[in-house]
Structure 1
Amino acid sequence: MDGNLNDDNAASQFMAHKTAFERRYRQYLDEITPYIYQRWTVTAGLLVLFMLRILLAQGWYIVTYALGIYLLNLFLAFLQPRFDPSLEMDLQEQEIEEGPSLPTKSDEEFKPFIRRLPEFKFWHAATRAILISMFCTFFSIFDVPVFWPILLVYFCILFAITMKRQIKHMIKYRYVPFDWGKKNYRRK
């Protein structure tokens, strides 16, 4: 009976510490949210450290490849709109067949670009992935012997094909996921 009380007490203490840690972590993330350039600079530095680790250790190419694929997937989600225009076009065509709808020409109402993956979540997931990958490089079980040039060529081909498809999609549905070159209206 006394053993159950100790187990319950230990479990409740663990949950209290876990909740306190999660609260502090969330507070830290909330505090650094406005510092976009600083966050990305730290993430880029971590990526450079990871690459140096891989180059100097001459191993963990599978971990590097997995990180590259994951970062590519995050980047594609960052570039894509939340609501796929190709699916919206299909829905608009169905609505036209069913009855009247709003105009779909260039004079239609303004729709802001909303990303599928917001910038902060992209940064958070990328930073976490780099840290996990760096952690994996300290264990020899993840150092699977592979012929790395094949992985590099395959990643480059995959990157080229997916970016070509994404750019075609952006051109076809006329959306730009970046703010560069757009007009900014400011109060004088």
Structure 2
Amino acid sequence: MMDAPEPDTPFAAVSAQTTKFGQIYQAYLDKSTPFIVQRWVGTAVLFLVFGLRIIFAQGWYIVAYSLGIYLLNLFLAFISPKFDPALEQDEGMEDGTAGGLPTKEEDEFRPFVRRLPEFKFWYSATKAIAIGFLCTWFEMFDLPVFWPVLVVYWLILFLLTMRRQIQHMIKYRYVPFTVGKRQFRGK
């Protein structure tokens, strides 16, 4: 087992500074949590800058394709329920109870819980776009590829996965989006 570094070693000083910057970074992330619209607008602007970089540089298509696949994966996790109704229904049939979403009026209501929460979705997407943008400044990531094939392949992948996800939503009757809490007003 490694002993803790002496306080006067250079390693300890670097470790202390890294911890300090990590805490400051986390404090800013925590403060940004309630500002959903502003966070997503900032991410959209970053994505637009990334897209313009790809278009004007006429390269790094494989980086854009990889980013597209990763963002699609994040989006699917965002609109998927944390607990799969198909698995719960199978388990419920084995023990005689109806698992999953309520099917009768006397069944208990359970709200939709995402597999990937909104903040983690935003944070992961923003980091991925920033890393993708950074990769566009290095020649080693500019692999020669025929970009229309990547676009067509990504569109086919998107359509097939969304079709499967929408069929799953229809079969198990859940909607991953809410428009907010209803507010009742007096006359």
TM-score (norm 1): 0.90
Aligned to 2:165: 166
Aligned to 1:116: 115
Instruction: Show CA shifts across 1:35-91 (max 9, x none).
Output: 000000000000000000000000000000000000000000000000000000011
1:68 aligns with 2:68: yes
Q: Cα gap change, 1:6/1:47 in structure 2, threshold over 3 Å: closer, same or farther?
A: same
Shift of 1:14: 1.0
Judge conservation of contact 2:6–2:12 (CA < 8 Å) in 1: no
Shift of 1:7: 11
Which secondary structure state, in structure 2, belongs to the residue aligned with residue 178 of structure 1? coil
Structure with bigger RCO (C-alpha 8 Å, 6+ apart):
1
Q: What is the CA–CA distance in structure 2 between the aligned matches of 1:124 and 1:174, rounded to whole Å? A: 29
Which secondary structure state, in structure 1, belongs to the residue aligned with residue 112 of structure 2? coil
Aligned to 1:184: 182
Judge conservation of contact 2:7–2:13 (CA < 8 Å) in 1: no
Shift of 1:185: 4.0
Q: What is the CA–CA distance in structure 2 between the aligned matches of 1:12 and 1:137, rounded to whole Å? A: 35
Q: Percent identity?
A: 55
Aligned to 1:90: 90
Aligned to 1:41: 41
Q: Cα gap change, 1:165/1:27 in structure 2, threshold over 3 Å: closer, same or farther?
A: same
Q: What is the CA–CA distance in structure 1 between the aligned matches of 2:16 and 2:181, rounded to whole Å? A: 49
Which secondary structure state, in structure 2, belongs to the residue aligned with residue 155 of structure 1? helix
Which secondary structure state, in structure 2, belongs to the residue aligned with residue 88 of structure 1? helix
Shift of 1:8: 6.9
Q: What is the CA–CA distance in structure 2 between the aligned matches of 1:50 and 1:183, rounded to whole Å? A: 35
Which secondary structure state, in structure 1, belongs to the residue aligned with residue 27 of structure 2? helix
Aligned length: 179
Which secondary structure state, in structure 1, belongs to the residue aligned with residue 137 of structure 2? coil
Shift of 1:105: 2.6
Aligned to 1:148: 147
Root-mean-square deviation over aligned CA pairs = 2.0
Q: What is the CA–CA distance in structure 2 between the aligned matches of 1:105 and 1:144, rounded to whole Å? A: 52
Q: Cα gap change, 1:57/1:187 in structure 2, threshold over 3 Å: closer, same or farther?
A: same
Q: What is the CA–CA distance in structure 1 between the aligned matches of 2:168 and 2:183, rounded to whole Å? A: 28
Q: What is the CA–CA distance in structure 1 between the aligned matches of 2:158 and 2:8, rounded to whole Å? A: 51
TM-score (norm 2): 0.90
| Unpaired segments ≥5 residues, structure 1 | none
Aligned to 1:157: 156
Q: Please identify which structure carries the higher helix content.
A: 1
